[in-house]
Structure 1
């Protein structure tokens, strides 16, 4: 990565961390761009070079994480809903626990849900909009996110591997009408 890209990545990281830190102190509506850039130690122009709004910081962060996730998912299996991909999902939720929980606590978890829906729609490709089958994807996303939120918000010491096994087995049973 060239030096300008590295510097811009640092700027984005500082802005993101500053916004999330400020959200621990007050609501997003009460946070001003000037506070974010001051806390981040960057110029106001740097904010607007990367983002169009405070909410755009969330969307950009989530999309960047999902781009990284996309590079690691396994497409060679018969299904996207493999144990390996579920494990990777739980590992990502665990890795970005603070951001996920901060979005949840501040009432912005729908931003994550919308981006997860968009991401999975893109990965799934052409979904027949007239088919009831399209709802499998949304059931999976909703169940995965809700399960991860509960897992992350408790002091549960269950590993990502255990969560993925449980989720995979439960999804398989549900697909076969056993739950």
Structure 2
């Protein structure tokens, strides 16, 4: 049992070292310019440690961002109070804005967008009384719209209060849903 716990600690350390090293390299290079050899050298781990944990560099990024995005969406899905939700979202966006800027500069934003889409799709699953085809397209529409709004807001310096943005998204969500139900 102790060996298993020890192996798990070593695996976690390797993952942490690889994640930290990858983000250090991303400060200077785009994702496609980084090679596994360069990453493992920077992280101080073996290639075997890398391939034991990941299939590619994208997996490190997904593993890093997935719980952060899921945690934010959990606040929305589990309908915490508006005050708590907005405070948690503000904290998330304050921390995430710099990472999003880097992702746009270093060509890995698509990974964050994919994770965002997964979370939004989960949120909108069976959310309305729409027929399945309208539901699917409405979910895609809202997912891309919300991502686009948040992206623009973060990249432009978060000038507007988050509460205003939240109200805007809610209005767009409610009016488009209502329009689809009326047709």
1:155–1:126 CA distance, 2 compared to 1 (3 A): closer
Larger deviation: 19-28 or 161-170?
161-170
> Which sections of structure 1, spanning at least 5 residues, go unmatched?
none
| Offset of residue 130 of structure 1 | 4.7
1:51–1:123 CA distance, 2 compared to 1 (3 A): same
> Which sections of structure 2, spanning at least 5 residues, go unmatched?
none
Residue of 160, 163, 177 corresponding to 1:161: 163
| Offset of residue 149 of structure 1 | 1.5
Paired position in structure 2 for 1:107: 107
1:52–1:172 CA distance, 2 compared to 1 (3 A): same
SS in structure 2 at match of 1:100? helix
Higher helix share: 2
8 Å CA contact retained: 2:17, 2:44 = yes
SS in structure 2 at match of 1:102? helix
Matched, 1:149 2:180: no
8 Å CA contact retained: 1:74, 1:84 = no
* TM-score scaled by length of structure 2: 0.69
For the aligned residue pairs, the C-alpha RMSD in angstroms reads 3.5
8 Å CA contact retained: 1:103, 1:109 = yes
Paired position in structure 2 for 1:14: 17
1:85–1:107 CA distance, 2 compared to 1 (3 A): farther
Residue of 39, 44, 59 corresponding to 1:36: 39
| Offset of residue 117 of structure 1 | 2.3
User: 1:29-178 counterparts in 2 under 5 A?
Assistant: 29-69=32-72, 71-75=74-78, 87=86, 91-125=91-125, 130-176=132-178
CA-to-aligned-CA distance 1:11-64 (integer Å, 9 cap, x gap): 434322322332232232221112212223334333223211112112222323
Paired with 1:172 and 1:90, the residues of 2 have a C-alpha distance of 22
| Offset of residue 142 of structure 1 | 1.0
* TM-score scaled by length of structure 1: 0.71
